[in-house]
Structure 1
């Protein structure tokens, strides 16, 4: 969808909107989106050079994510320009460069300042980056949650991990499930294991198998043997496996597991 949106924006000469749409597609896993994002930089450069902070920040992000290391100095220049113009996205991107020492000397203290400005400006990824660097545990929890509720899925998984470290396991599981429902593979694995082992809840093998199936549906088969072990141990029967498959939207995986465990490998 975002690729088509980007094409429509490009046809209308709305190059910033097109760039954002192509980047969204690339983040969702579209190779075409990444290619088109790089192509649209040709149209964004004049806008950025003409003073558009949004174009500059967009350029910096595209150069960082979808170009080789030779583009880092250019990315740094545009990110700094966007940051100096007060654009939250530019502050966050330039802060990332400073935090990682990419194309510029590492300066974590300045990075924190920039992330704080970006977060104060409503930039959800800036909230997430600030949460990673803050020394205040409660502040980090608040920032992770704010970023998650603004749509940063990895922030929900990070929040779950922080809550787990504080022995707030029921809350942690809730956030693992939240992130798993939005496609985060690590959160799927955590949710599956926690439901299997009864962390933060009573053991629920159906939910465990459901999230192991969810991993498989997202291209990761690491949980398959775990689901097989649960079935072989008698933790789930055929009806429960089918329910797990229904919940995960993977009925074929359920039938395959049933065939492997209960019917001697006949799917």
Structure 2
């Protein structure tokens, strides 16, 4: 899909100015209590997008809106994407999905991979536009080719399911691998399941273990649970019920729906001393950054 909607800087400024006006607190009256101090502004880095994100993190919404607006005016398409996210989610201002959609379209037209992925998802779901899998796949996979990890994951799913075009498992695996290399946990687990079950035509339990382990190290409950299963079964890694207890315990604490039952099962197979050791290991365990 070729998006020809160009959102001018003046209109973008108008949208963000209106949002700013809505986010300001009313002027204090003499009888009112003193206004709460404004959030501190993080030190500027010189990168408008980074500064805007830092302001968001600090809940300084006016500064974030200003930084994203200035970024877009300076040629950084992601500025309009982040303004769109603020409008869509109602972060620091009144939500407005339609204006958010216009900002996403403008950012995508200017080359924002994040916005292309978001527009693609809107086409896939029929959010504010007609549902169109072909358009969704085109936009999402274009974003993926620009290196956006979420788009790589989403493109892989469309290819694997054959939505918006022909099914291509080999190409889907390539995009999943790219997303996993970029740190996408969902892609790590998708690759783990594909290699575990052989749904990609190449069953390989060692590769499955490697991908699940990467997700587990980041504290993901799916990865933790799947490693627990492998440790309990002794395939493809040596059986270790103490470590299985550790992984099931961590997965259960993160609300994996099947981990609690597995945890109880392994607890009954261990001595009280071994259970205590496993519990201590879980308390001291920390996810990788």
- Name the TM-score class by shorter chain: 0.7 to 0.9
Contact 1:116/1:130, CA 8 A, preserved across alignment: yes
- TM normalised by structure 1 equals 0.72
- TM normalised by structure 2 equals 0.67
Match status 1:159 vs 2:191: yes
Contact 2:53/2:64, CA 8 A, preserved across alignment: no
Contact 2:41/2:60, CA 8 A, preserved across alignment: no
> 2:34 matched to which residue of 1?
none
Distance 1:244 1:177, change over 3 A: farther
Contact 2:42/2:54, CA 8 A, preserved across alignment: no
Of 109, 114, 124 in structure 2, the residue corresponding to residue 99 of structure 1 is 124
Q: How far apart are the structure 1 equivalents of 2:184 and 2:258? A: 24
Distance 1:105 1:173, change over 3 A: same
Of 118, 140, 143 in structure 2, the residue corresponding to residue 115 of structure 1 is 140
> 2:15 matched to which residue of 1?
none
Matched pairs, number: 234
Q: Which runs of 5+ in 1 are unaligned?
A: 1-5, 24-32, 252-267
> 1:59 matched to which residue of 2?
83
Contact 2:84/2:100, CA 8 A, preserved across alignment: yes
Point out the structure with max Rg over C-alpha. 2
Q: How far apart are the structure 2 equivalents of 1:233 and 1:107? A: 52
> 1:174 matched to which residue of 2?
210
Contact 1:60/1:93, CA 8 A, preserved across alignment: no
Q: Secondary structure in 2 aligned to 1:117?
A: helix
Q: Which runs of 5+ in 2 are unaligned?
A: 1-39, 160-166
Root mean square deviation of aligned Cα? 3.4
Q: Greater relative contact order (Cα 8 A, min sep 6): structure 1 or 2?
A: 2
Q: How far apart are the structure 2 equivalents of 1:92 and 1:225? A: 38
Distance 1:45 1:246, change over 3 A: closer
Match status 1:230 vs 2:266: yes
Give a deviation string over 1:216-242, Cα, whole Å, max 9, x none.
5546696344323213124x6624751
